[in-house]
């Protein structure tokens, strides 16, 4: 059952729902109970559904296939990850720049928008995400490129991410090592920065006041929604707890036990 924290904006009808993935749709390799049914119910009611993850270690195609394996059919244009966001950011702000990617599995996102990926310290930009194949040699190339003046882009700086049996170190652990060693501060593409939501708004023309962000972390998903003026729902199947939501400075509009409760939030908003 959902708990309403901020009722001031409940009267606005919800036309768009944006789901975080890790901790909301799935945890590790397992789908959350009711995820498929919740998405289908929203789509049946005419709600636009998008999927947005801070994970920058894979492509949109990878996440679309993963959602499909859980019975959720997601067109590529409605799946957003921060590797795609970083590529779009570079294409818009650094035309002609080359990139060294600390997660080579995502290079396709960059080449698809015309960015040439290189594997040496002469890169014009270093893009850092969650690299599960990280080596000291790769870290050294990134370090030297940054010392030479390369742009420093982080897909996200999450300290950890949820898996079936707990948590693992996130991209923030890699980003922090380079930031500390080079004394450089990165441009953050992912949550809680608003860039990814702005990208969805720009590419699909959605109305922020009619959108609901559903996530499991107050400091990323919920804070980003607040920066953008969107409604937000914290789901208690991931990182943040009910007590943190009720007592902390970042207050979601709703706190819900699971993704199963999202269609009810939308239906209740339509009645007001």
Choose, from 22, 216, 253, 261, the residue flagged as catalytic.
22
247, containing H or E segment: helix 242-247
Which residue is it, tokens 């409940």?
10
Task: At 64, list the tokens.
Answer: 């679309």
- What is d(CA 147, CA 140) in angstroms, rounded to the nearest whole number? 11
**Closest to 221 in 3D by CA, of 80, 47, 86:** 80
Task: At 89, list the tokens.
Answer: 């950011």
Task: Check: CB of residue 130 under 8 Å from CB of residue 174.
Answer: yes
Does 22 qualify as catalytic in the annotation?
A: yes
Could you give the 3-state DSSP secondary structure of residue 71?
coil
Choose, from 10, 20, 105, 112, the residue flagged as catalytic.
20
- What is d(CA 231, CA 255) in angstroms, rounded to the nearest whole number? 12
Which residue is it, tokens 């709600």?
47
3-class SS letters over 3-43: EECCCCCCCCCCCEEEECCECCCEECCEECCCHHHHHHHHH
Q: How far is CA 116 from CA 53, 65, 112, 121, 130, in A?
A: 24, 25, 9, 14, 20
| Alpha-carbon dihedral angle through residues 134, 138, 142, 148, given to the nearest 10 degrees | 170
Task: At 145, list the tokens.
Answer: 């490129």
Does 221 qualify as catalytic in the annotation?
A: no
Residues near 23 by beta carbon (within 8 Å), at least 6 away in sequence: 161, 162, 215, 216, 217, 235, 237, 238, 239
Q: Which residues are catalytic?
A: 20, 22
């Amino acid at each position: 059952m959902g708990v309403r924290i901020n009722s001031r904006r409940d009267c606005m009808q919800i036309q768009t729902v944006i789901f975080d993935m890790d901790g909301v749709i799935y945890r590790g390799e397992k789908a959350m109970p009711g995820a498929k049914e919740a998405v289908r119910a929203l789509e049946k009611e005419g709600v636009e559904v998008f999927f947005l993850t801070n994970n920058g270690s894979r492509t949109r195609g990878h996440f679309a296939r993963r959602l499909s394996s859980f019975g959720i059919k997601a067109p590529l244009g409605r799946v957003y990850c921060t590797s795609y966001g970083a590529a779009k950011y570079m294409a818009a702000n650094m035309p002609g720049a080359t990139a060294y990617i600390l997660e080579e599995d995502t290079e396709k996102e960059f080449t698809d928008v015309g960015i040439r990926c290189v594997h040496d310290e002469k890169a014009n930009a270093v893009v850092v995400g969650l690299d599960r194949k990280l080596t000291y040699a790769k870290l050294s190339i990134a370090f030297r490129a940054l010392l030479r003046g390369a742009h420093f882009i982080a897909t996200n700086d999450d300290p950890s991410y949820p898996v079936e049996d707990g948590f693992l170190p996130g991209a923030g652990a890699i980003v922090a090592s380079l930031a500390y060693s080079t004394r450089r501060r990165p441009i953050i593409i992912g949550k809680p920065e608003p860039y990814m939501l702005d990208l969805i708004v720009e590419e699909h023309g959605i109305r922020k006041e009619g959108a609901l962000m559903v996530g499991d972390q107050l400091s990323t998903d919920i804070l980003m929604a607040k920066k953008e003026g969107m409604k937000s729902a914290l789901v208690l199947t991931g990182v943040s707890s009910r007590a943190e939501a009720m007592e902390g400075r970042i207050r979601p509009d709703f706190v819900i036990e699971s993704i199963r409760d999202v269609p009810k939030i939308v239906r209740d908003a339509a009645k007001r």
